[in-house]
Chain A
Amino acid sequence: MTPGGYAGKWLDVDLSKDKIREVEYGDKVLEQYLGGRGLAAKVLWDKVGDKYPELDPLDPKSPLMVYTGPMTGIYPGSRICVSGKSPVSMGTVGSTAATEFANEIKEAGYDGVTFTGKADRPVYLLVTDDGAELMDAGHLWGLDGEKTLIKLNKEVTAELTKRKPNVGLWKDPGMVYIGPAGENMVRNAAVMAKICHACGYGGYGALMGSKNLKAVVAKGRGPLPKVDAPEAAKLLWRRTHQILIGRTAMRRQGTGYAGYSVGAVTSSEPIRNWQEEWHDEKSYGGPMFEHRYWVKKKWADFNCTTNCMKISCIKTGKWKGDITDMPDYELQAYCGTNFGIYDPEANIHLSALADQLGHSGINGPNTAGFAVELHQRDILKDSDFGFKPKWGDPDTFDRIMRMMANREKIGDVLAEGTYRAALKIAEMKGLKPDELLKYAVHVKGIEIGAHGTRSDADYTHDISYAANVQGGDHTSTSVDGYNDMSGAVFTDSAVFCNFTYYGVPQSLVFDFAKAITGFDINLHKWRSETGPRIVTLQRALLMLGGPDLKWTPVKDDDNPPRFYEPLPSGPYKGKTTDRKLVDEKLKAYNETLGWDERGIPTKETLKKLDLGFLEKSVSKLR
């Protein structure tokens, strides 16, 4: 009998053979890996196994998972999780984004889709109550995010109305899709949703591009899956919303006010490719965005009352017509201060451009900032760009981002992501890699989120990124190998939003999880067993890595060189990340999780966590 919260069926799509199967996963696997990030890593291993290091992520055989979790749609803040072998970190990333696609596919009776193979022509998958089918997407290939969504909305609604005309109006479908960046397999491209949402980390946009898969669309009319204890679930649902409704600051400002305060207060905001982390530009304060650009001040995703999102629209001037969300803090930083830009309008434009092109709003601009610093350091010349790039000039970064998406000139190299671009440019310019890696702010290939560790005043500290199996992913940072196991690892596997998790008592969330699934799930069990199992599996896959790249234990389990340079300005001037603390806490982290001092899972741990199947491959790493 299907456990509560699950539709009970997953789709398995072989794009090469145009074959679609329905598969099921046993209760045991679901209890052990839940869904989303956890289940995706398990399914990836089951499909690839010991040949993992030889598998090129952009090869047709490389599977792409688009999974929900048992709590998706029911717990406030419904999201989808996209995963697989990451073309960026060579490990796996549970990359999530809020989208109606998540609850629509569950209403259609499926918990997720696994794609393998490569379609011979651009396609998109359409999932409805009557099953799934591959539709031609030739006319959508090459369109930017907004146009893709507009056309798909119209086309799918018309198709569904044609099939069942007299059931009343068909609502618009939920969908995830890629932009030009994904199509051209920009390594850190994102999987987009709702024009300005993105599964940004991991580069799964490139994975979709490599499979000629333009979009995944779903429209279901069934109920959300049954739960184990409905009455308890309803009570917990009301209680959770009451708590979320009480958080006035987050609801009113979202993260749109942090573009000023993370710089001015915690000195942890990337400025000109992280050369600085402090600024006090009042022109970049929340009200400067709110009054002139926010056309909707309370915008929420399915079943969420935090409504942290706002819609911005530029109504005058050069960029008239640009629409995006707020922008949220990460893009206020990366598409703003990281470029040396403190003008809200330019920031909104560059964020909207990143969404349209299908870039990840964090990784893409990180690479662009890296390129302009190389120009500042005279490693890259005007001729490489075809123009003279300047900090603080919106057109510079507008052109670089377009060049990256279309892989033109230097853009083709930069499209490989900051780490690989550094290696390539070193080769091109005849320099030692380390001379360039000095300016590359990434961990395990994944460009770091907009929270620095030097001031130690933000929530990101010493080993947040260094020990993280998802590298620079700021939404899943490591702490001590126990408390952080019930953080993003849990929310990305149960697949719901971090912002509706933090601030709600964890005991209440796990009661809710139990009421939904009926599993014997609680905070301690998750922190000591289920969480570590998923993270250990991810660690193993990450360290196996390959084929073009392998991370060296200990040496690559570290912050980027820049995070050890003293802060040049602001109240925390002179402070830097404490290397001694990093080494200590990294050792403690590995110990807690039962990994050896090089961070390789020991044989006993694998057995204890029921990960025996990894022993053969992992033993080679020891």
Chain B
Amino acid sequence: MSSIWIVRDYENCSGCRRCELACSMHHEGWMWPEASRIRVFMPFPGVEVPHLCAQCDDYPCVESCPVEALSVDGGTTAVIVDEETCIGCGACAKACPGTVPYLHPRDRKATICDLCGGDPECVKVCREAGYNALRLVHEGMSGHRKLFARNPVDVAKDLAVKFFGEKGEELIV
């Protein structure tokens, strides 16, 4: 499985959140937006930001785990969570530059995107609807990935200025 990465074009995101539904149906068996590994933030209507793991080259989350519950899938470069070992301390969420991991509503276990083993469901439904806000590319590991692990509210602040000009600066405080 060659190393893959999910490209995110925020301005194409329509806010339909089908990625959340496809992901939770795949991993949890039913529609559970808050248990989806990709969550769409909308700090202001129209400024939607899909938030998911960027597989940083130095994996700060894996390093920070006190019980070694996180590992890396050599093929897809995805972070894999061992749910038995995870104690729900939240260290990985704090270590992540974009606070991407979160504790599962059901059992407070760390929840991180595993790239569906190489064929992400979120990308499929996004492409099916023609938005292409999420695109799969076959690219090797790079230091730039980590820059995409950003707090979605900061991303939204930038997008707001691009969409609305000066008015954008007042919309997300």
Direct contact between the two chains A and B in their complex (CB within 8 A):
yes
Do B46 and A223 touch (CB < 8 A)? no
Do B17 and A302 touch (CB < 8 A)? yes
Most buried by B among A74, A168, A224: A168
Q: A73-B31, A321-B164, A323-B46 are in contact. Are A302 and B16 (CB under 8 A)?
A: yes
Do B31 and A74 touch (CB < 8 A)? yes
* B contact residues around A230 at 8 Å (CB): 29-30
Across the interface, name the chain A residue whose C-beta is closest to B110: A168
* B contact residues around A196 at 8 Å (CB): 45
Do A166 and B16 touch (CB < 8 A)? no
Does B145 reach chain A (CB closer than 8 Å)?
A: no
Does A492 reach chain B (CB closer than 8 Å)?
A: no
Most buried by A among B16, B25, B29: B16
Do A307 and B16 touch (CB < 8 A)? yes
Does B59 reach chain A (CB closer than 8 Å)?
A: no
Nearest chain B CB to A245 CB, angstrom units: 6
Does B39 reach chain A (CB closer than 8 Å)?
A: yes
- Stretch of B63-71, B72-80, B100-108, B135-143 on the interface side: B100-108
Most buried by B among A169, A227, A295: A169
Does A172 reach chain B (CB closer than 8 Å)?
A: yes
Please encode chain B, from 140 to 173, with 1 for each CB lying within 8 Å of some chain A CB and 0 for all others.
0000000000011000000000011111001111
Do B30 and A169 touch (CB < 8 A)? no
Tell me which of A146, A166, A223, A226 contacts B89 (CB under 8 A).
A166
Do A150 and B14 touch (CB < 8 A)? no
Do A223 and B103 touch (CB < 8 A)? no
Do A168 and B163 touch (CB < 8 A)? no
Nearest chain A CB to B108 CB, angstrom units: 7
Do A169 and B173 touch (CB < 8 A)? no
Please encode chain B, from 7 to 41, with 1 for each CB lying within 8 Å of some chain A CB and 0 for all others.
00001101111100100110011111111000101
Tell me which of B16, B42, B99, B164 contacts A169 (CB under 8 A).
B99
Does B97 reach chain A (CB closer than 8 Å)?
A: no
Once the chains are docked, how many angstroms separate the CA of A323 from the CA of B171?
11
Across the interface, name the chain A residue whose C-beta is closest to B89: A166
Do B28 and A167 touch (CB < 8 A)? no
Nearest chain B CB to A252 CB, angstrom units: 10
Do B30 and A321 touch (CB < 8 A)? no
Q: Is the interface of B mostly helix, strand, loop or mixed?
A: mixed
Please encode chain A, from 225 to 260, with 1 for each CB lying within 8 Å of some chain B CB and 0 for all others.
011001000100100011001000001000000000
Across the interface, name the chain B residue whose C-beta is closest to A220: B34
Q: A150-B173, A169-B152, A171-B39 are in contact. Are A224 and B30 (CB under 8 A)?
A: yes
Once the chains are docked, how many angstroms separate the CA of A166 from the CA of B95?
12
* A contact residues around B43 at 8 Å (CB): 153, 172
Q: A303-B17, A307-B16, A321-B167 are in contact. Are A166 and B90 (CB under 8 A)?
A: yes
Do B42 and A100 touch (CB < 8 A)? yes
Across the interface, name the chain B residue whose C-beta is closest to A78: B17
Across the interface, name the chain A residue whose C-beta is closest to B34: A221
* A contact residues around B130 at 8 Å (CB): 245, 251, 298
Does B1 reach chain A (CB closer than 8 Å)?
A: no
Q: Kindly identify, within residues 250 to 286 of chain A, every residue whose CB is under 8 Å from any CB belonging to chain B.
A: 251
Nearest chain A CB to B36 CB, angstrom units: 10
Do A241 and B46 touch (CB < 8 A)? no
Do A168 and B11 touch (CB < 8 A)? no
Once the chains are docked, how many angstroms separate the CA of A222 from the CA of B39?
14
Does A129 reach chain B (CB closer than 8 Å)?
A: yes
* B contact residues around A194 at 8 Å (CB): 45
- Chain B residues within 8 Å of chain A by Cβ, number: 54
* A contact residues around B100 at 8 Å (CB): 168-169
Does A607 reach chain B (CB closer than 8 Å)?
A: no
Across the interface, name the chain A residue whose C-beta is closest to B24: A223
* A contact residues around B103 at 8 Å (CB): 166-168
Once the chains are docked, how many angstroms separate the CA of A107 from the CA of B93?
23
Do B44 and A150 touch (CB < 8 A)? yes
Nearest chain A CB to B89 CB, angstrom units: 7
Q: Kindly identify, within residues 151 to 165 of chain A, every residue whose CB is under 8 Å from any CB belonging to chain B.
A: 151, 153-154
Do A315 and B165 touch (CB < 8 A)? yes
Nearest chain B CB to A164 CB, angstrom units: 9
* B contact residues around A74 at 8 Å (CB): 31
Do A154 and B42 touch (CB < 8 A)? no
Does A457 reach chain B (CB closer than 8 Å)?
A: no
Tell me which of B15, B29, B167 contacts A323 (CB under 8 A).
B167
Do B151 and A245 touch (CB < 8 A)? no
Do B164 and A323 touch (CB < 8 A)? yes
Nearest chain B CB to A284 CB, angstrom units: 23
* A contact residues around B151 at 8 Å (CB): 169
* B contact residues around A222 at 8 Å (CB): 32, 34, 105
Tell me which of A100, A153, A171, A298 contacts B131 (CB under 8 A).
A298
Once the chains are docked, how many angstroms separate the CA of A274 from the CA of B34?
47
Q: A167-B102, A320-B167 are in contact. Are A300 and B34 (CB under 8 A)?
A: no
Q: A302-B16, A321-B167 are in contact. Are A150 and B172 (CB under 8 A)?
A: yes
Across the interface, name the chain A residue whose C-beta is closest to B167: A321
Across the interface, name the chain A residue whose C-beta is closest to B28: A223
Nearest chain B CB to A496 CB, angstrom units: 14
Nearest chain B CB to A74 CB, angstrom units: 6
Does A577 reach chain B (CB closer than 8 Å)?
A: no
* B contact residues around A195 at 8 Å (CB): 45
Across the interface, name the chain A residue whose C-beta is closest to B35: A223
Does A290 reach chain B (CB closer than 8 Å)?
A: no
Q: A149-B45, A168-B90, A295-B164 are in contact. Are A245 and B128 (CB under 8 A)?
A: yes
Once the chains are docked, how many angstroms separate the CA of A514 from the CA of B128?
26
Q: A169-B152, A245-B128 are in contact. Are A223 and B30 (CB under 8 A)?
A: yes
Across the interface, name the chain B residue whose C-beta is closest to A224: B31
Across the interface, name the chain B residue whose C-beta is closest to A315: B165
Once the chains are docked, how many angstroms separate the CA of A511 from the CA of B171?
42
Does A296 reach chain B (CB closer than 8 Å)?
A: yes
A-B contact pairs, 29 of them (CB 8 A): A107-B34, A150-B170, A153-B43, A153-B172, A166-B94, A167-B103, A167-B105, A168-B99, A168-B100, A168-B103, A169-B51, A169-B93, A169-B100, A196-B45, A221-B34, A221-B35, A223-B24, A223-B31, A241-B18, A296-B14, A300-B14, A303-B18, A305-B129, A307-B14, A307-B131, A313-B167, A315-B164, A315-B165, A321-B166
* Cβ-closest 8 pairs across A and B: A168-B102, A166-B90, A321-B167, A223-B32, A300-B16, A221-B105, A221-B34, A194-B45
